[in-house]
Amino acid sequence: MNIISTVTNQGKVRFMIYDEKMTAPVLIRFLNRLLREAKKKVCLILDHLRVDHARLVKSWVQENKKKIKLFHLPSDSLDLNPDQSLNCDLKTNSNQGSVQC
């Protein structure tokens, strides 16, 4: 079980739980859900997963550039990513056993 989520500058959380590996189609599915509810252009900060740079994702972002802009955190900057605590909570409280966060 995995989670992808966002936290707005007002503290509002959007998330999606998924079972499969994080792939370009999974990320795009989440991005489509974000845009569906957005009233303004979305500025999204990503944490440098390999999938963030996939051709399919880049193509999707280009097609939606009026609705979304992606930014990337510096590599190895988990302390700047509030999403990490959500992922840790999910893994700790699911049936996956003991997890070190």
DSSP letters, 41-54, are -EEEEE---GGGG-
Distances (CA, A) of 76 to 33, 40, 49, 79, 81: 27, 30, 11, 8, 10
Q: What is the pLDDT of residues 27-83, one digit of tens each?
A: 999 999 999 989 999 999 888 788 989 999 999 999 999 999 999 887 766 655 555
Q: Among 6-10, 15-19, 54-58, name the one with the lowest average pLDDT.
A: 6-10
pTM: 0.75
**What is the second-level CATH architecture of the domain 2-93?**
2-Layer Sandwich (3.30)
Asked if 73 and 80 touch (Cβ cutoff 8 Å), the reply is yes
Rounded distance, CA 92 to CA 83, Å?
Answer: 14
